[in-house]
C-alpha cells in the first residue's frame, strides 16, 4: 500500500530524488558478505538471517577453506559444519538447511545454483527474501529484497505504509524507477545499517533528511 499522504506523481518524484542521492553517494553498492562463488554466497545468505554480516564473514572465512562446494559441505557433515558456525545465531537450524541445500543441489542441479526465483524458494533455507538477494547480487536481476533495514527505511522515507515484507516489496517494485531497482536493496540496507538506525537514527548527518517523512514528523 503506497503512502497516500502524497499523490502518486509527487511520491514518484520524491522516490527519484531519494535514489539519485543514494546513487551519487555510492554508485555501485554490494553485499558485505564475503564469498567466492555462487554456492558460498548462498551459504552466507542463509547464515546471515538474524545475524550480522560481520559475524557470518568471521565464521565462513574458516568454513570455506574446507567446504566451498556442495560436495565438500556434505563430506564435512552436519556436526562438522556446526563446529564452524556455532558462533552464529540459530546455527543448529542453519546447519540443517545448508546440508539439505547441498544435497538438493547435487541431486537436482549439478551442484549449481538455479537462476529461477520459484525454484530457489523451494530449496532448503531459501525463502523469497533470500532468493531475491541471491538473484540480484549474483546475476543482477531486478528484484528488491526486503529485510528489517529495508522495511524500516522505506517506511520512514514514506515510500510505503505496508507492514509485511511482501507488501513492502510490491510497493517498492511499483514505485522505484527501473534504473534504480538493481541496487535499491543494497542502498536501503546500507543506509539502515549505518545511518537510519532502528534506535537513535543519525538524522543530522543523513543525506536524505530533507526528503524524509520520519524527520518531518518526529524530529
- According to DSSP, residue 86 is labeled T
Alpha-carbon gap, residue 201 to 166, rounded angstroms: 25
Q: Is 96 considered catalytic here? A: no
- For the domain made up of 8-30+143-218, give the CATH fold: Endonuclease Iii, domain 2 (1.10.1670)
- Assess whether pLDDT exceeds 60 at residue 3: no
Query: Which candidate, 113, 111, 120, places its Cα nearest to that of 143?
Result: 120
- Which residue in 30, 58, 79, 147 is the catalytic one? 147
Q: How confident is the model at residue 4 (pLDDT cuts 50, 70, 90)?
A: very low
Q: pLDDT above 70 covers what percent of the chain?
A: 94
On average, the pLDDT of the chain sits at 93
Range 20-44 average pLDDT: 96
pTM, 2 dp: 0.90
Q: Provide the terminal-to-terminal Cα distance of the chain, rounded to the nearest Å.
A: 25
Q: Is 147 considered catalytic here? A: yes
- According to DSSP, residue 42 is labeled H
Q: What pLDDT was estimated at residue 10?
A: 79
- Mind listing the pLDDT tens digit for each residue in 52-102? 999 999 999 999 999 999 999 999 999 999 999 999 999 999 999 999 999
Q: What pLDDT was estimated at residue 1?
A: 54
Q: How confident is the model at residue 5 (pLDDT cuts 50, 70, 90)?
A: very low
- Which residue in 82, 94, 129, 155 is the catalytic one? 129
- Mind listing the pLDDT tens digit for each residue in 119-129? 999 999 999 99
Alpha-carbon gap, residue 196 to 101, rounded angstroms: 34
Alpha-carbon gap, residue 69 to 55, rounded angstroms: 21
Q: What pLDDT was estimated at residue 11?
A: 83
- For the domain made up of 38-139, give the CATH fold: Endonuclease III; domain 1 (1.10.340)
CB atoms < 10 A from the CB of 57, how many?
Answer: 16
Q: Hey, where are the domains in the chain?
A: 8-30+143-218, 38-139
Amino acid at each position: 500500500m503506497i503512502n497516500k499522504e502524497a499523490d502518486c506523481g509527487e511520491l514518484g518524484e520524491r522516490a527519484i530524488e531519494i535514489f539519485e542521492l543514494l546513487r551519487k553517494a555510492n554508485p555501485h553498492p554490494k553485499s558485505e558478505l564475503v564469498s567466492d562463488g555462487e554456492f558460498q554466497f548462498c551459504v552466507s545468505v542463509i547464515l546471515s538471517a538474524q545475524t550480522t554480516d560481520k559475524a557470518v564473514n568471521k565464521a565462513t572465512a574458516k568454513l570455506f577453506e574446507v567446504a566451498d562446494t556442495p560436495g565438500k559441505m556434505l563430506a564435512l557433515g552436519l556436526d562438522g559444519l556446526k563446529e564452524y558456525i556455532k558462533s552464529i545465531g540459530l546455527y543448529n537450524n542453519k546447519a540443517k538447511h545448508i546440508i539439505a541445500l547441498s544435497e538438493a543441489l547435487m541431486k537436482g542441479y549439478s551442484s549449481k545454483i538455479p537462476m529461477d526465483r520459484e525454484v530457489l524458494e523451494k530449496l532448503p533455507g531459501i525463502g523469497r527474501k533470500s532468493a531475491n538477494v541471491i538473484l540480484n547480487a549474483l546475476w543482477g536481476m531486478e528484484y528488491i529484497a526486503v529485510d528489517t533495514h529495508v522495511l524500516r527505511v522505506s517506511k520512514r522515507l514514506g515510500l510505503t505504509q505496508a507492514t509485511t515484507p511482501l507488501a513492502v516489496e510490491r510497493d517498492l517494485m511499483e514505485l522505484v524507477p527501473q534504473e534504480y531497482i538493481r541496487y535499491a536493496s543494497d542502498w536501503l540496507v546500507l543506509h539502515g545499517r549505518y545511518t537510519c538506525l532502528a534506535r537513535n537514527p543519525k538524522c543530522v548527518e543523513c543525506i536524505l533528511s530533507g526528503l524524509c517523512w520520519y524527520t518531518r514528523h518526529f524530529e
